[in-house]
Each structure stands twice: as C-alpha cells, then as structure tokens.
Amino acid sequence: MSMFPEYWVRFETPEGPRQGYLEGDAIQPIKGDMFGLWRADGAPVPLGQSRLLAPVVPPTFYACGINYEGHWRTAAEEFGLDLEKSWPGSPEVGYRAQSAIVGPGDPIILPMDVPPNVQVEAELAVVIGRCCRHATPETAMDCIFGYTIANDVSARGWQFEDRTFWRSKNSDTFKPIGPWIRCGADLHAMETRVFVNDDLKERFATHRMIHSIADYIVAITRYITLVPGDVIIMGTDGHAPQMRPGDVVRIEIEGVGTLENPVIADRR
C-alpha cells in the first residue's frame, strides 16, 4: 500500500495559503512542497472548517483547444466555423492566465459589459509533478502529479470579437480550479458531468480525447520544458452550457472530485 497521499489541497490560514493533504475528513498541513520535499507539520484541520483555494497556481497554464469530437461538432455548428478547418490536426496548446484563477466555491464574476453568452467548459486539468523535456509516448505520463478540475469559462461574444482570448477566457475569476489534486486516479474510469443549478447539462467520458494527454505532453516538451505545478487543461466535450448570474455551476469528474462555483454579476 502506498503511503503517498491521494488528495492534495491548498487552503487558507491566517498566515497565508498552505499546502496539505486529506486524511479522512481533515487536512494535514505540510511543511515544504507537495511537488518536492515535504513532511506533515502541525495539527490536522477539519475539512469542513477550511476554505480551500485553487490547489495549484501554475507557473505556466496550458490549454488544449478543441479536443473532443462532440465539442468539435457542436462548436463548429454553434459558432459557424468550418468543420474541417476547425479539426485539431495536431496537439497544439494555448495559454490561460494565472490572474484569472479562483478556487472552489469562489464566485465567477461576470463583468458589467460581458456579452450574454458566457459558457461553462468542464475540463480535466493535468497537474505536472516533475520537470520534463523531450518526453516520449512511453515516458510522457511519468511527469504527471495528479488531476484536478477546471472550468474554462468562456465569454463567446468576446471570443470572436477580440484578436486573442484575453477577456473572453481570462477576465478575473474566469478560471476556477479545484477542489483538490487527486493522485493515482484512473483516467479511463472517469466521467465528466456538468450541472447548472443541479440540472445535468452534459456528461462525457473524460478520456475520449482527440489527442491524448501523452500526445500533448510529447508535443509540448519537444520545444518547452514542463515544470512542477504546471497545469494543462484538456478541453471539453459536447455542448458548453450557458451560465447566468444567480446560477451555481457544478463540475463532477468521477474519481477526481467536484468543483462548484456560484455565478454573480459584477456591480462595478
């Protein structure tokens, strides 16, 4: 039996964010770094009395584009894209911004002037645990620390109006991540489910990607060094449901956890 913890968290303390791991219903704080050297440090804190933060703040935050067949078809139809041209022929990454990250339970705040169609993209987030360059298909998965969940909130009006995804995907609070990092999960047993106000809006087999996680890691590390804490969000499938102020968005990935965030309107 492995002694390595299965669930890693970051949580708020009066002294600032701390890392820890779950032991039953409690968080065991650590000293050191979950990706490197660490030891248990201090008394366990009841999970129910803690505010969890985004479990990782990636130095570089990678995002796969369209990476599931169902989303390829619905996105092309909904946004009037050419179906063939929007097919992702090879694994290429984009970037998301650290500035947009919030944690589980934190509100997704819709800017005053955001165009109405803001959508949930429920995505598996791969957390890197080791430096990796020039991975091969055989070694690629070895650099993974674990998995968490991301909501790649997307303001579609801005997405097609702007030259980049800056506002559409990176406005403050548009990148909820959490609730924790699950180590040792079985990707092939995962199912992703998206709920808005408890209504199931979409469900899909998490592993049925167009380009696999290993494909992406091989492609990225041909040119770029992945480092501990880097995150790659793997894309979503099917139709991305709309969210409105007052909604609560919940993303469940079987074997990983549940990420829930309320949606509110900015008052400024």
Q: Does 162 bind a second copy (CB under 8 A)?
A: yes
Q: Does 118 bind a second copy (CB under 8 A)?
A: no
CA 12 centroid distance within chain = 20
Q: Judged by CB under 8 A, which of 22, 45, 76, 93 binds a second copy?
A: 93
Which are the contacts of 8, defined by CB distance < 8 A and separation ≥ 6?
19, 20, 21, 22, 34, 55, 146, 180, 181, 183
Q: Does 119 bind a second copy (CB under 8 A)?
A: no
Q: Does 98 bind a second copy (CB under 8 A)?
A: yes
CA–CA separation, 205 vs 193, rounded Å? 9
Is the separation of the CB atoms in 40 and 83 below 8 Å?
no
Nearest to 233 by CA among 100, 53, 83: 100
Taking the CB of residue 123, how many other CB atoms lie within 10 A of it? 26
Q: Does 167 bind a second copy (CB under 8 A)?
A: yes
SS3 for 182?
A: strand
By CB under 8 A, the residues from 35 to 64 that bind a second copy are 57, 59-60
Start-to-end CA span in the chain (Å): 53
> Contacts with a second copy: how many residues (CB under 8 A)?
33
- Which stretches of the chain are DSSP H helices? 69-79, 156-161, 166-170, 213-221
Q: Does 31 bind a second copy (CB under 8 A)?
A: no
By CB under 8 A, the residues from 183 to 212 that bind a second copy are none
Query: Which stretch, 24-32, 94-102, 138-146, 239-247, contacts a second copy (CB under 8 A)?
Result: 94-102
Q: Judged by CB under 8 A, which of 172, 207, 245, 258 binds a second copy?
A: 172
User: Of the two residues 69 and 254, which places its CB atom closer to a second copy in the complex?
Assistant: 69
Query: Which stretch, 67-75, 90-98, 135-143, 195-203, contacts a second copy (CB under 8 A)?
Result: 90-98
User: Of the two residues 26 and 224, which places its CB atom closer to a second copy in the complex?
Assistant: 224
Amino acid at 69: E
Q: Does 264 bind a second copy (CB under 8 A)?
A: no
Q: Does 230 bind a second copy (CB under 8 A)?
A: yes
CA–CA separation, 172 vs 165, rounded Å? 13
Q: Does 164 bind a second copy (CB under 8 A)?
A: yes
Residues found near a second copy in the complex (CB under 8 A) = 57, 59-60, 65, 88, 92-95, 97-100, 111, 133-134, 162-164, 166-167, 170-172, 220, 222-227, 230, 268
